Amino acid sequence: MQPTLSRLILALFVALSLPGLALAQSGGASAKAATVNGVVIPKSRVDAVVRAQEAQGQKDSPELRAAIRDRLITLEVVAQEANKKGLSKGADTVSQLELARLNIMAQAYRVDFFKNHPVSEEALKSEFEKVKLQMGDKEYKARHILVENEAEAKAIIEKLKKGEKFADLAKASKDPGSKDNGGDLDWNSPGGFVKPFSDAMVKLEKGKFTETPVQSQFGWHVIQLDDSRQAKFPDFNEVKPGLQQRMQEALFDKAVTDLRAKAKVE
């Protein structure tokens, strides 16, 4: 299916926005896809849209390239007519063009930063071990009831001691994600919970509940431990790409924060 003009404009926007897509040129300055009223449409522009389409799941093909070339010609014709009418000088158009330029330059800086600040294998492995330590070597299947205050939590604990079912009492929980499922939180590592919660949870025996309410920033919890098991942590090579991306993003965010701190803003 050939892209409509509006879809092509969106693809061009994606090509300009995604890191490395529009910035990587191919074919050289002399390679052209077409000439419209003396204005050259470079092959690199077709390539950029193709890459954007590939990022959205389409496959590169001669048919796709021909359709993109045809639509780019239409886009150029319309843009030339808009320019004749002086629309390029409109305040909104000027602002949008400037925003597009700023976005492209920011993306160029991001790509350059990633290229020149690779994360070492040693740093990746160190972070991997740190995450493993934070996650722990066990997983816990717990459920909880979250309430507003300590008195409510104590009342629930008394009801549990008298034999009322945890799942039934959980219907009064403030947690919308678990209240209709008996308070079930599924399998998680201790690191997946706030510290007061995890500290209390790991001390419980299987089938037992906390006899003292547990306070967190969310409210007061009554926790029951259904089961525990040894955690299965993924292999380093499995998580390496995502870990590398996350660490590079953190470095980039710090660099941007430092730039902001140094900038003179009035």
Name the token pair of 165.
């079912």
Same domain membership, residue 67 and residue 46: yes
C-alpha–C-alpha distance, residues 228 and 98, integer Å? 56
Same domain membership, residue 189 and residue 132: no
C-alpha–C-alpha distance, residues 108 and 96, integer Å? 18
Same domain membership, residue 132 and residue 104: no
Residue ranges in the chain whose pLDDT is less than 50: 1-3, 16-29
pLDDT at position 122 is 94
Please, are residues 34 and 69 in contact by the beta-carbon 8 Å criterion? Answer: yes
Please, are residues 105 and 17 in contact by the beta-carbon 8 Å criterion? Answer: no
pLDDT at position 137 is 79
Tens of pLDDT, residues 163-175: 999 999 999 999 9
| Alpha helix (H) residue ranges in 18-61 | 43-55
Same domain membership, residue 107 and residue 16: yes
Same domain membership, residue 145 and residue 87: no
Same domain membership, residue 251 and residue 131: yes
Same domain membership, residue 249 and residue 124: yes
Q: How many domains does the chain have?
A: 3
Same domain membership, residue 97 and residue 122: no
pLDDT at position 21 is 41
Phi-psi bin for 213: left (phi > 0), alpha (psi -120 to 50), beta? beta
pLDDT at position 130 is 87
pLDDT at position 10 is 54
> Nearest-CA neighbor of 231 among 185, 188, 260, 195?
188
Q: At what angle do helices 5-17 and 91-116 cross, to 10 degrees?
A: 40
Same domain membership, residue 165 and residue 248: no
Same domain membership, residue 89 and residue 27: yes
- Which of 84, 116, 148 terminates a domain? The answer is 116
- Which of 67, 82, 116 terminates a domain? The answer is 116
pTM for this predicted structure: 0.56
- Bridge partners (DSSP) listed for residue 188: 140
Same domain membership, residue 176 and residue 101: no
| Alpha helix (H) residue ranges in 117-225 | 121-135, 150-161, 166-169, 195-202
| DSSP annotation of 221 | E
Q: Can you give the residue range of the structural domain that contains 247?
A: 118-136+235-266
Same domain membership, residue 249 and residue 168: no
Please, are residues 79 and 90 in contact by the beta-carbon 8 Å criterion? Answer: no
